[in-house]
Amino acid sequence: MTGLFLLTLRELRARKVVVGLFVVATVVWVALALALQLDVVDGSLAGARLFGQETIEEPFDPDEPLVDAEGDPVLDDDGVPRTRGSDLPFNGDTLLESVVFTAQAFVSGAAYWIGILLALFATGGLIATLTERGYADVILTKPLSRSAVLGGRLLAVMAVMLALVTYLFGAVWLVMSIKTGIWSPRFLLAIPVVFGMFAVVYSVVTLVGVWSGSGPLSLIVTLGLGFVTLVLAIPELPTQIDRTWRPLVVGAYHVLPKFGAVGTTMVPQLATGGDVGALYPLASSLAFGGACYALAFALFSRKDY
Amino acid sequence: MTDLAIHAAGLGKTYGGRRPVVALRPLDLEVAPGETFGLLGPNGAGKTTLVKLLLGLVRPSAGDATLFGRPIAAPEARRVAGYLPEGHRFPPFLTARQTLDLFARMSGVGPTHRRARAEALLERVRLSGAADRPVGTFSKGMLQRLGLAQSLMNRPQIVFLDEPTDGVDPVGRREIRSLIEGLRDDGVTVFLNSHLLSEVERVCTRVAILKDGERIRMGTVDELTRQGRAWRLVTSALPPATLDALGDALSIDGTTHEGLVRSTATVPDRAALNAALDRLRADGVEVEAVEPARQSLEDLFVEAVSGSPRLGAAAEPPVDG
């Protein structure tokens, strides 16, 4: 299994896209470190510059009451006086926290949607390659069980992807924490979530790759499935379709992974300290991934090459 | 348990689907350790399927088999085996040395042995000079030699070679042949699958011919190519009286460049052959050569797979002396 693990690592290194992903991750945290200049005074944000442009020009006190043109306090719907901090985005209690959370939400969102997609392109062909004639002949005639062969392959892909996600999120977290003094370890919980969802996506690549032996087909099916799950996640969908199809659509929503729910709710909320809501979307997605892997292993063990 | 290198009992494969295809009909096969066994057959005869079955690449539809007593379904069976597949592919970015190292690691070869073995085998297949070049830059012949080295990295007790000389120039072919002979001398069982019948004839001790998934011939090269109780003679001209006396026992095949007569004596046994020779000498005929009549393996192969008559069955008309 070690041999196949190492071989896969070398294959990933040879695919320049994986190296490129690490370069992009480096560019992200270096850019964040250099471009965002924060003036923090006594734990509060006194000023901020992005790429040298002043974005906050004066000290900001989130507790300062908001007043209208006549000097009267502005009240919210419940009649409570509003302050300058009332509208702070991304669950920040202070402007500084909001800036940190905004940056982290941006990075985690980009890593989830764009990063997983790029990682998929970088690693998608690896499973199908394993089944190609000439290559399979050499590898599958070694004294290794089929499970060890597929397991070694997957282990290497997962190790690289976990390293990539940890590197990106860890570096961004360190940069933001050191610059602001706000240490929010909760952001790091996005690492297992993003990695877990990559593993779910990759389970489809694995299953289709083992079944068809085609790298392009496994990518097309996976992307198609991702699109379908996004459509199924539209809340109004069940009420707008024919009653006959409703159970099918609702059933498909529950069976298939919930990329949309995890990507739009759980990942940003982890980054911004908000309520992540129910774990059902993540748990059911992981269950789907587990089932796909089990099927892929069973198929790979029985197939003729 | 058995100590046979290969023991197959009713081993067969039918590929499923809407129209099932019988790739290999149930086959019994025994190959002893140290044998050099040749597998012949036209394209689609089931040769590669048999090799794939024995190496666990394909699951049998019928029967079972063992390699040195280990069931082929168990990965352990492949610990004693090396395999050079036809049309093998190695990752093009690896160097020859890295390729041998990685694939030997998969075979469970320890790090110290891997290094030493790789050096020795690269030398043996004349790739030492290209040991650190990426495999993607190799010619077909070099790839074939690398594949051969790869198949031997784990010091196998049995090695399956599928078209080992494919794409190799005549010099390389000779080297591979001598390598196979070296393996045989080392007691390694060789299972050779090749279209180059002259090679099979030279190196194999036993041969099987498959056709349409069925074994149609099997035996030693000598057994298969020898034509029953027939001997080829080269003599001076044969007087008509001698021909009349020997009758059907002697048929004329032609003449040599020196004007000598080539004939075939078909007689029941050695005593009858000597009686015929006595008659020739008594009639003043000079005997240049006597040897058992044989087909080439190629003739045998063509005859076996096409059903055409044996060579020499339709002899040329007698030549008067």
Compute the CA torsion angle B112, B113, B119, B121 (nearest 10 deg).
Answer: -170
**Based on the domain organization, do B46 and B158 belong to the same domain?**
yes
* pLDDT of amino acid B29: 94
DSSP one-letter code for B55? T
Q: Contact B90/A138, CB-based, under 8 Å?
A: yes
Q: How confident is the model at residue A279 (pLDDT cuts 50, 70, 90)?
A: confident
Q: How far apart are CA A43 and CA A100, in angstroms?
A: 13
Question: Which residue from B89, B106, B150 is facing A144, i.e. has the nearest CB?
Answer: B106
**Based on the domain organization, do B185 and B235 belong to the same domain?**
no
High-pLDDT (> 90) share of chain A, %: 38
- Considering only A92-101, A259-268, A285-294, which range has the smallest mean pLDDT? A92-101
| Domain harbouring B43, CATH code | 3.40.50.300
Distance in Å, alpha carbon of A26 to nearest chain B alpha carbon? 26
Tell which phi-psi region holds residue A89, choosing left (phi > 0), alpha (psi between -120 and 50) or beta: beta
Integer-rounded Cα Rg, in Å, for chain B is 24
Is A10 a residue whose pLDDT tops 70?
Answer: yes
Distance in Å, alpha carbon of A30 to nearest chain B alpha carbon? 31
For tokens 């045998």, the residue is B300
Q: Is residue B311 part of a domain?
A: no
**Based on the domain organization, do B114 and B195 belong to the same domain?**
yes
* pLDDT of amino acid B314: 39
Q: Is residue B277 part of a domain?
A: yes
Report the chain B residue with the minimal C-alpha distance to residue A305.
B57
* pLDDT of amino acid A59: 52
Distance in Å, alpha carbon of A92 to nearest chain B alpha carbon? 50
Q: Select from B106, B143, B151, B157 the residue whose CB has the most chain A CBs within 10 Å, as the one to mutate to test that interface.
A: B106
Q: How far apart are CA A184 and CA A24, in angstroms?
A: 23
Q: Is residue B266 part of a domain?
A: yes
Is B91 a residue whose pLDDT tops 70?
Answer: yes
Q: Contact B57/A136, CB-based, under 8 Å?
A: yes
Distance in Å, alpha carbon of A296 to nearest chain B alpha carbon? 17
Question: Which residue from B75, B90, B98 is facing A145, i.e. has the nearest CB?
Answer: B75
Distance in Å, alpha carbon of A272 to nearest chain B alpha carbon? 43
**Based on the domain organization, do B119 and B267 belong to the same domain?**
no
Q: Contact B103/A3, CB-based, under 8 Å?
A: yes
Q: Would you list which residues of chain B are within 8 Å, Cβ to Cβ, of chain A?
A: 15, 52, 55-59, 75-79, 81, 83, 85, 87-91, 93-94, 98, 102-103, 105-108, 147, 150
Q: Is residue B218 part of a domain?
A: no
The count of other CB atoms within 10 Å of the CB of residue A287 is 13
Q: Would you list which residues of chain A are within 8 Å, Cβ to Cβ, of chain B?
A: 2-4, 6-7, 10-11, 14, 132-145, 148, 302, 304-305
Helical pair A146-180 and A16-35, crossing angle rounded to 10 deg: 10
Handedness of CA B195, B201, B207, B212 (dihedral sign): positive
**Based on the domain organization, do B179 and B235 belong to the same domain?**
no
**Which tens digits make up the pLDDT trace of A50-62?**
555 555 555 556 6
Average pLDDT of the segment spanning B275-286 = 91
Distance in Å, alpha carbon of A149 to nearest chain B alpha carbon? 9
Average pLDDT of the segment spanning B85-90 = 91
Look up residue A230 and give its amino acid: L
**Based on the domain organization, do B64 and B196 belong to the same domain?**
yes
**How many Cβ contacts (< 8 angstroms) between chains A and B?**
78
Q: For residues A105-134, b (16+ Cβ closer than 10 Å) or e, as one string?
A: bbbbbebbeebbebbbebbbbbbbbbbbee
Report the chain A residue with the minimal C-alpha distance to residue B59.
A304
Provide the number of structural domains found in chain B.
2
Question: Which residue from A11, A14, A141 is facing B56, i.e. has the nearest CB?
Answer: A141
- If you count them, how many residues does chain B have? 321
Q: Is residue B41 part of a domain?
A: yes
Q: How far apart are CA A275 and CA A288, in angstroms?
A: 24
* pLDDT of amino acid A124: 87
**Based on the domain organization, do B245 and B183 belong to the same domain?**
no
Is A169 a residue whose pLDDT tops 70?
Answer: yes
**Which tens digits make up the pLDDT trace of B239-268?**
988 888 888 888 888 888 888 999 988 888
Q: Give the domain extent around B241.
A: 227-306
Half-sphere exposure of A228 (CA within 13 A, CB side): 15
Question: Which residue from B55, B85, B102 is facing A134, i.e. has the nearest CB?
Answer: B85
**Based on the domain organization, do B136 and B266 belong to the same domain?**
no
Is A139 a residue whose pLDDT tops 50?
Answer: yes
Q: Which of B150, B184, B212 is the last residue of a domain?
A: B212
DSSP chain A: -HHHHHHHHHHHHHSHHHHHHHHHHHHHHHHHHHHEEEEEETTEEEEEEETTEEEE-S---TTSBPB-TTSPBPB-TTSPBPBTTTT-STT-SSHHHHHHHHHHHHHHHHIIIIIHHHHHHHHTHHHHHHTSTTHHHHHTTSS--HHHHHHHHHHHHHHHHHHHHHHHHHHHHHHHHHHH----GGGGGHHHHHHHHHHHHHHHHHHHHHHH--HHHHHHHHHHHHHHHHHHT-TTHHHHS-TTTHHHHHHHHHHS--HHHIIIIIHHHHHHT-----SHHHHHHHHHHHHHHHHHHHHHHH---
| Domain harbouring B239, CATH code | 3.30.70
Q: How far apart are CA A184 and CA A271, in angstroms?
A: 9
Q: How confident is the model at residue B13 (pLDDT cuts 50, 70, 90)?
A: very high
The count of other CB atoms within 10 Å of the CB of residue A14 is 15
Is B306 a residue whose pLDDT tops 60?
Answer: yes
Inter-residue contact B24 to B12 (CB < 8 Å) = yes
Q: Contact A137/B57, CB-based, under 8 Å?
A: yes
Contacts for A24 with CB less than 8 Å, ≥ 6 apart = A118
- Considering only B21-25, B154-158, B171-175, which range has the smallest mean pLDDT? B171-175
**Based on the domain organization, do B154 and B95 belong to the same domain?**
yes
Distance in Å, alpha carbon of A52 to nearest chain B alpha carbon? 44
Q: How confident is the model at residue A101 (pLDDT cuts 50, 70, 90)?
A: confident
Average pLDDT of the segment spanning A241-268 = 85
B187 vs A65, more confident: B187
Q: Cβ contacts (< 8 Å) between B54 and chain A: which residues?
A: none
Q: Contact A143/B108, CB-based, under 8 Å?
A: yes
Q: Cβ contacts (< 8 Å) between B56 and chain A: which residues?
A: 140-141
Integer-rounded Cα Rg, in Å, for chain A is 24
Q: Cβ contacts (< 8 Å) between A134 and chain B: which residues?
A: 85, 87-89
Question: Which residue from B58, B76, B85 is facing A304, i.e. has the nearest CB?
Answer: B58
DSSP one-letter code for B133? S
Look up residue A195 and give its amino acid: F
Q: Is residue B291 part of a domain?
A: yes
Average pLDDT of the segment spanning B156-183 = 88
Q: Which of B188, B212, B236 is the last residue of a domain?
A: B212
Q: How far apart are CA B83 and CA A143, in angstroms?
A: 12
A24 vs A50, more confident: A24
Q: How confident is the model at residue B321 (pLDDT cuts 50, 70, 90)?
A: very low
Distance in Å, alpha carbon of A196 to nearest chain B alpha carbon? 29
Average pLDDT of the segment spanning B283-295 = 88
* pLDDT of amino acid B22: 93
Q: How far apart are CA B16 and CA A21, in angstroms?
A: 43
Average pLDDT of the segment spanning A63-89 = 74
**Based on the domain organization, do B85 and B62 belong to the same domain?**
yes
DSSP one-letter code for B292? E
Q: Which of B212, B245, B269 is the last residue of a domain?
A: B212
Average pLDDT of the segment spanning A84-92 = 59
The count of other CB atoms within 10 Å of the CB of residue A152 is 22
Mean pLDDT of chain A: 84
Tell which phi-psi region holds residue A219, choosing left (phi > 0), alpha (psi between -120 and 50) or beta: alpha
Report the chain B residue with the minimal C-alpha distance to residue A144.
B75
**Based on the domain organization, do B198 and B237 belong to the same domain?**
no
Q: How far apart are CA A152 and CA A7, in angstroms?
A: 9
0.90 surpassed by complex ipTM = no
For tokens 């469970």, the residue is B108
Report the chain B residue with the minimal C-alpha distance to residue A135.
B89
**Based on the domain organization, do B94 and B156 belong to the same domain?**
yes
Q: Is residue B219 part of a domain?
A: no
* pLDDT of amino acid A91: 58
Average pLDDT of the segment spanning B65-90 = 93
Q: Cβ contacts (< 8 Å) between B102 and chain A: which residues?
A: 3, 6-7, 10
Q: Is residue B316 part of a domain?
A: no
